[in-house]
Structure 1
Amino acid sequence: MKRLVILGGGESGVGTAILGKKKGYDVFVSDFGKIKENYKEVLTINEIKWEEEKHTDSLILNADLVMKSPGIPEKSPMVKKLIEKRIPVISEIEFAAQYTDATMIGITGSNGKTTTTMLTYHLLKSGGLNVGLGGNIGKSFAWQVAENQFDVYVLELSSFQLDGIINYRPHIAVITNISPDHLDRYNYNYDEYISSKFRITMNQKEGDFLIYDEDDEAISGWFSKNKTKANKIPFSISKPITNGASLNDKTMKINIKEQEFTMDTNFLALEGKHNLKNAMAAASVAQLMKIRKETIRESLSNFQGVEHRLEKVLKIQNVQYINDSKATNVNASFFALDSMTVPTVWIVGGVDKGNDYAELMPLVREKVKAIVCLGVDNKKIIDAFGNVVDIMVEVDSMVDAVRTSQRIAEKGDAVLLSPACASFDLFENYEDRGRQFKQAVQNL
């Protein structure tokens, strides 16, 4: 019996454990932190052995195969030991993909991947396909492979998940865009991070498809030096595209396999240039999957959006409060600020992942009237924008951030939580940060 050891007892770890057990592995789950009570129950019911708050060498280094949760860096001592012993260390995606014949759609990118994934899922489901949603989002992919029979999977894939693939091959891959993020995990080397994203296409063959942003410098740079076997389907909002998606005045046009789809962009449910690109990517997938044009149009116009991504919370005394807690990097905050049409009080800060705020400067000058710094260490933000905005305040709780913003904001302004940073200094995760923001707004 082969031994499968799983590092990390979260959603992806427990899902992999269930699938591993079903496939006849001797399974052991080890988490250096605490495992949540509900996951412990699942493991115990399924008679899967586990440990928490430690990694025991003798129980791990005898593995035939290790599945590592995406949050654990390659540099961690246990992973180093496994690599030294030449024990394969893979991601949940790699492990689960070999046990399903479903059509795979994989979506990655620095920003927009959750929205594009949700939108693609919405389009395919509305088109009547039997489709599962997973990866970096929702219920574990492995867990679904163990318990459901989906014909198609739409997976959101982070660079960390792609680092752990060997044979995973999506039939349709999407790269929404690439901008510097998580550089702390890639030796502060942007090229390493870019290569990591492009792993999504490394196993693709001639009959597969790669949908990508033709306007993106990092993507074009990669293509100037590398090739893919997949059929390339670019999208652009700045230039005409013959085989792919483009913008003609206010009309989105998609030409794929001599099939043309058009839609007036005024009817798109999601606002902003970046969401137009997300819609192009998702609609391109839908067209490849032969969803009816009318269904695509209808679904693009009724999509509800993603929680914590430019989510309008409330309007109080004619001030709009917007939750963009999912903006954990500079590029995401760029999109948020770019879509603002009124003077904005910007709540920003958290754990800095090697951010360069320079690209935000023109937008901050144009749109931001005040900055509320919400982080343990705000020095970089203060240094970057101290001379650019009139008001700069430091706070150390979400309630303070919201109350301070309310005092500063005037009728017709907006208050935008778009942190450009990770959340781990003051919050559990970006969802917790977003929920606290919404709660504080509702309590005003």
Structure 2
Amino acid sequence: MGRDEKAWLNTALEPLPETFRISLHRSDRRWTIEQVKSIGAVEIPWMPSETAFMMPFARGKAPEGLPQRLMALLHETGRITRQEAASMLPVRLLTASQETLALDMCAAPGSKTTQLGERLHPRGVVVANEPVSGRLNMLVSNKSRLGLANIVVTQHDGRHFGRLPPPGFDAVIADVPCTGTATTRKNRDVWWDWTPKESRKMFKMQVDITARGASLLVPGGHLVYSTCSLDPVENEAVVAEILRRCPYLELVPLELDGITLHPGLTSWPILDESGTPVAPQEADELPFFAPAHLGPDERMALGIGEIGQEQGIAAQLPLCLRLWHDDNDTGGFFVAQFRHRMDSQDEQVAKAYRSRRASRRDDDWVPTVKAPPKPTANSVVEAEKDVVAHVEAMYGVDLTPFSLWQRGKRLNLAPPMVYERLFKPAAPTNKGDIWGGESFHPVRVV
């Protein structure tokens, strides 16, 4: 893939340096910066000023004494968040503002979620989704450790994430499950278990998660797709398939000073289980192979797909970005950003809200308003007024700038956007009917 093999291997197996983010929303941020600089922290040049740092020691190998104790205490008290530099890229590159409602589709353990939460604080909101219960606990712990009120945690299979009220999400991050072949600097054993068929097995899930995120994206909104894999089948091939399935999306150029990044590939080999390239016309015999794994040029040569569409995809793929281990002393990474094109002829809502069934009804048809299920002891509900008044009186605080939520005996603060865009409005069903408002249903909030 255009790399010097020896030079790349010399870096790809070296331990990663310790890197972390400074918590932006804390009042003692300046003190934290002074403390980490005193033990050798150096700014990461492509992150905003004094928001992320690299230490002069390997990941998890702080020298005994003050550096080791200080790093542990700063992390545990929410003043810093340990995070690989490469994994900071999706949020760094995402187009968003402090008025953004964002969805992180595969959020655990929470480093990108909290990075985005800090960026959108205090008005914007992140819906952080994680389907796996064990990983969900890590996500909730990281949110609590930082005390971020603008993160709403949900538990769904990202491929089938429910319809929240329209118009949809302003921004989506799809940092999808992958083979992790770019993580050799922290996981040297990753390649012992990897063969080319593993990437082909991941492809469909990666496409389905990303396509669902795209369907929930408002016109004009942005979706970032990313992996920590080197394999084009998990990267450019997924991006190409999303452009085929979602013709309302386009890739947008990404630029970032202070870091060396490389354009996406337009052609790549398909490998057999020994790692040997296979001719495209013979790839059908490979385990889990699908024609969508091929690059646009190879597809056109085999007469697959519509020529104009494939040519357009080939022209866009260089807008993806690849990060290689040996250019910036990081792990490897892949990232691309889509935009939902604005179309003045369409309703200004996400594709998921445009019900085909509803459009086939008679002109005088009126959707049925369905009552959401009754809350249970584990449901997140709007806080009772007398509870809020009691807390205000006890602590002498004014809670009117917030929306407040209860789950059992726990009371949570959140920005008003949670109530205004996620809870209060009605949400359409897939049959064109409507779930009545004043509920998070059909999304499971935890």
- When normalised by structure 1's length, the TM-score is 0.26
- When normalised by structure 2's length, the TM-score is 0.25
